[in-house]
Structure 1
Amino acid sequence: MHGKTISENVEEYLETIYKKSLSEGIAKTTEISKDLGIAPGSVTQMLKKLEEEGYVNYYQYKGVKLTDKGFKIARSIVRKHRLLETFLYNTLGIDVEDLHEQACAMEHSLSDEAERKMCQLLDYPNQCPDDHNIIPICNLDITTCYECSKIHSIEDIPKRIENLVAVGNMLPNQVGKIKFIRGSNENLKEFLDMGITLETEITLISSSPLNGPVKVLVEDKELLLDKESTNNLFVLLE
């Protein structure tokens, strides 16, 4: 949770902006209005308020982008939502069509420690079951899931300062350095065998629709990665 100073309404806005800006670079006012079912004029007023509070940068007639502060909060909410969908589907057997609404009702009250334990219970999932979108990285300052599994309490782990993005969410020609690798030690070994390690520089060349291969440049070598691999590699964009 982010405390009582941030309302659920603000979190919903930030969550919507996060989803739009990842795929399109900027979230347009009309799209936010459509997704939230709120009149464009009211959305514009709210976006200006969010800018005053330091959550977004608002560009008139263009849309908004999240600031570092807004990105961290939005990413956390999206992560909790998608983990909850995975838990409801995989563990409780809830129908796919009911996942979104139930996760929305629960995401704002899920504590960070409960989120961590849920992630471990689910064996560090990388995408949610209803729309197969990438589950964002946690906000803990670690480089692998193995590190997290060896720590007793979330209070013993500092928060990550950097905002990391999954390779699967990178735009063509974006460059980043790998700072986190999700999954088991077997996953780590598979990446190591491909020459992909922490601090490796990676460039997204192109990606295929649906579950097709993703072409990347790793240092000076071109590789084809499957979608699951790109969901598990997180970079700091340069």
Structure 2
Amino acid sequence: MHGKNISENVEEYLETIYKKSLTDNMAKTTEISKDLGIAPGSVTQMLKKLEEEGYVNYYQYKGVKLTDKGYKIAESIVRKHRLLETFLYNTLGIEMEDLHEQACAMEHSLSDEAERKLCQLLEYPNQCPDDHNVIPVCDLDIATCYECSKMQSIKDIPKRIENLISVGNMAPKEVGTIKFIRGDNDQLKELLDIGITLETKITLISAAPLNGPVKILVEDKEVQIDKDVSYNLFVVIE
């Protein structure tokens, strides 16, 4: 949770903007209005308020972008939502058509420690069952899931300053440095065998066609990785 000063309404707006920002340069007012079922005029007023509070940058007639502050909150909410969908579907057997609504009702009250324990219980999933959307990285200042598993309490782990994105969400020719690897020790060893480890600099050559491999440049060597693996590698874009 992000404190009582952030309402569920604000979190819903930031979450919607975040999802739009993954595919477009910025989220448009009309798109936000449609997704939330709120009149465009009311959406515009809210976006201006969010800009005043430092969560977004609003560009009249163009759209809106999340600030670093807004991005962190939005990403955390999206992560909780998708972890909950995974739990509801894989563990509890909730019907697919009911996942989104139930996860929405639960995401705002899920504590950060409960989120961490849920991730460990589910064995660090990288995609949720609803449209196989990528589950964002946590905001804990750790480098691997194994490191997290050794910590007794979330209170012992500082928050990460940088915003990370998965290799699977990079754009062609983007360059990034790997800062987090999701998965168990076997995942770490497999990546090490092909020259990928923490602080490795990579360039995305091409995204995966359907279920094909993702091509990346590791230092000066071209490497192919599975699409699933690309969603377990998180980088800081240079």
TM-score, with length taken from structure 1: 0.97
Cα deviations across residues 204-237 of structure 1 (Å, max 9, x unaligned)? Answer: 1221343222221111111222110110000011
Corresponding residue of 2:78: 78
Matches within 5 A, 1:2-21: 2-21=2-21
Q: Distance in 2 between matches of 1:24 and 1:194?
A: 32
Q: Distance in 2 between matches of 1:183 and 1:194?
A: 16
Matches within 5 A, 1:53-202: 53-202=53-202
Q: Secondary structure at the match of 2:236?
A: strand
Following superposition, the deviation at residue 25 of structure 1 comes to 2.3
Q: Distance in 2 between matches of 1:204 and 1:48?
A: 35
Corresponding residue of 1:212: 212
Q: Structure 1 runs of 4+ off > 6 angstroms?
A: none
Following superposition, the deviation at residue 91 of structure 1 comes to 0.8
Q: Distance in 2 between matches of 1:27 and 1:174?
A: 21
Pair 1:39-2:39 in alignment: yes
Q: Distance in 1 between matches of 2:84 and 2:149?
A: 19
Cα deviations across residues 61-103 of structure 1 (Å, max 9, x unaligned)? Answer: 1111110100000000000000000000111011111100000
Letter aligned with residue 24 of structure 2:
E
Give unpaired runs (5+ residues) of structure 2: none
Q: Secondary structure at the match of 2:176?
A: strand
Deviates more, 1:198-207 or 1:119-128: 198-207
Deviates more, 1:87-96 or 1:200-209: 200-209
Q: Indicate the RMSD between aligned Cα atoms, in angstroms.
A: 1.0
Does the 8 A contact of 2:124 with 2:182 survive in 1? Answer: yes
Q: Secondary structure at the match of 1:176?
A: strand
Summarize the Cα distance change of 1:210–1:99 in structure 2 as closer, same or farther, 3 Å threshold: farther
Q: Distance in 1 between matches of 2:144 and 2:125?
A: 13
Corresponding residue of 2:231: 231
Q: Distance in 1 between matches of 2:190 and 2:228?
A: 12
Cα deviations across residues 26-50 of structure 1 (Å, max 9, x unaligned)? Answer: 1111111111111111111111111
Summarize the Cα distance change of 1:6–1:20 in structure 2 as closer, same or farther, 3 Å threshold: same
Q: Distance in 2 between matches of 1:54 and 1:42?
A: 19
Does the 8 A contact of 2:208 with 2:227 survive in 1? Answer: no
Q: Distance in 2 between matches of 1:109 and 1:236?
A: 29
Q: Distance in 2 between matches of 1:174 and 1:25?
A: 15
Cα deviations across residues 146-186 of structure 1 (Å, max 9, x unaligned)? Answer: 00000100001111111111111112221110000000100
Letter aligned with residue 232 of structure 2:
N
Letter aligned with residue 154 of structure 1:
I
Pair 1:22-2:32 in alignment: no
Give unpaired runs (5+ residues) of structure 1: none
Q: Distance in 2 between matches of 1:67 and 1:83?
A: 24
Letter aligned with residue 221 of structure 2:
K
Letter aligned with residue 10 of structure 2:
V
User: Percent of aligned positions with the same letter in both sequences?
Assistant: 82
Letter aligned with residue 76 of structure 1:
S
Q: Distance in 2 between matches of 1:19 and 1:184?
A: 27
Letter aligned with residue 106 of structure 1:
M
